[in-house]
Amino acid sequence: MTATLRFTKGHGTENDFVLLFDERDEIDLTPELVRFLCDRRAGIGGDGVIRAVRAGEIPAGAGLDARTWFMDYWNADGSTSEMCGNGARVFGAFLERDAGIDLTGGLTIGTRGGTRTLTSLGDGRYAVGMGEYRLGDATDGFDSEVEAHGLTPARPALSVDVGNPHHVVALASTDELAALDLTHAPRVRPAAPAGSNVEFVVTRGGEIRDGVERGRVRMRVHERGSGETRSCGTGACAVALAVREWAGEGAPDVWDVEVPGGMVTVRIIGTRTVLEGPAVLVADGTVDVSHVLAVTPA
Ligand SMILES: N[C@@H](CCC[C@H](N)C(=O)O)C(=O)O
């Protein structure tokens, strides 16, 4: 028997996803199927899978209005995460096109990390209201340390929760950032109970634009469940929050974050952040998944 799935491929600053439109929860999305879809040689290829489903159709959507669109996010290794910032922007572009929703006035979506708001900025970019953040309990700006290949000794880090867990490490120069080997997962101490995304950041100065002071940083990331990716939206928020914390009083609330796949902007507004950046839908197609379904336990 042949089973096919319709998919869309999209990316946000080259953090790429396989998107599935599944309003009524008809796709049996398993870790095996996610790993196959994300496989860059045998499958479609992506850092993760995002399924658009109505909240009322799935247990994770409990408590939300049943008609709310839920972003069911999975990492490439078949694990799920609470939130994906770049994915949320791409999800917005997907809903605009395939569900016919106009996002210029904003839309509330469900995620495992709580509700988020998506707004189209009208130029191919989207703003995501990323919800409340929480910095680690650190008296001197650090609450942990991180060891990575190409970086000795271990460096101090700050844990930041933006719905999903992050550890941010400051490096001295862009050369040090470029020399990092992120083909291996960095080791975090104390280890985060459910694992963590780890960002390495270098400050790059700043500017005043339209009367607003903006900081600028460059980062690389090793994502829990996906390895090194070319961008991480929640990671960019964690980085902006950590760098502002380290800079102290008077530091900017707006940060332009350079990632290997482009640039995103983070605005810190009180206890919340807003992530802005592009979202691109690249291709549509169908994929034969019968061999994956054949090995999926009943
Ligand atoms: N790339 C994403 C984050 C995806 C989830 C992450 N790997 C995790 O496990 O928490 C982003 O853009 O935020």
Give the distance (Å) from ligand 1 centre to CA of residue 210.
Answer: 31
**Structure-token pair, residue 284:** 């549509």
Determine the residue of 197, 220, 266, 274 to mutate for testing ligand 1's pocket, defined as the one with the most ligand atoms within 8 A of the Cβ atom: 197
150 contacts 222 by C-beta, under 8 angstroms: no
Q: What residues flank ligand 1, with Cβ below 6 Å?
A: 15, 75, 81, 84-87, 164, 197, 223-226, 229, 232-235
CA of 84 to the centre of ligand 1 (A): 4
Residues contributing to the annotated binding site: 15, 75, 85-86, 164, 197, 223-224, 233-234
Q: Where are the domains of the chain?
A: 4-131+280-295, 134-270
Catalytic residue among 49, 90, 109, 232: 232
pLDDT one digit per residue (tens) for the chain, 298 residues: 569 999 999 999 999 999 999 999 999 999 999 999 999 999 999 999 999 999 999 999 999 999 999 999 999 999 999 999 999 999 999 999 999 999 999 999 999 999 999 999 999 999 999 999 999 999 899 999 999 998 889 999 999 999 999 999 999 999 999 999 999 999 999 999 999 999 999 999 999 999 999 999 999 999 999 999 999 999 999 999 999 999 999 999 999 999 999 999 999 999 999 999 999 999 999 999 999 977 544 4
Cite the beta strand spans of the chain per DSSP E: 4-12, 15-21, 48-54, 69-75, 107-111, 114-120, 125-132, 134-135, 144-148, 151-161, 165-170, 187-189, 197-209, 212-223, 227-229, 254-259, 262-269, 272-278, 280-288
Count H helices, E strands: the chain?
5, 19
What residue numbers does the annotated binding site for substrate cover? 15, 75, 85-86, 164, 197, 223-224, 233-234
Note whether 278 and 89 are within 8 A (CB). yes
Looking at CATH, the fold of the domain delimited by 134-270 is given as: Diaminopimelate Epimerase; Chain A, domain 1 (3.10.310)
> What ipTM was estimated for this complex?
0.99
The pair of structure tokens assigned to 37 is 């879809």
Give the separation between CA 113 and CA 221, rounded to whole angstroms. 20
Structural tokens at position 179: 């020399």
Atom of ligand 1 nearest to the CA of 86: 12
Query: Do 4-131+280-295 and 134-270 show the same overall fold?
Result: yes
Nearest-CA residue for atom 1 of ligand 1: 232
Catalytic residue among 84, 95, 264, 275: 84
Query: Is 232 assigned a catalytic role?
Result: yes
User: Of all atoms in ligand 1, which is nearest to the CA of residue 221?
Assistant: 1
CATH tag, 4-131+280-295: 3.10.310.10
Ligand 1 site-directed mutation target among 11, 38, 81, 111, most atoms within 8 Å of CB? 81
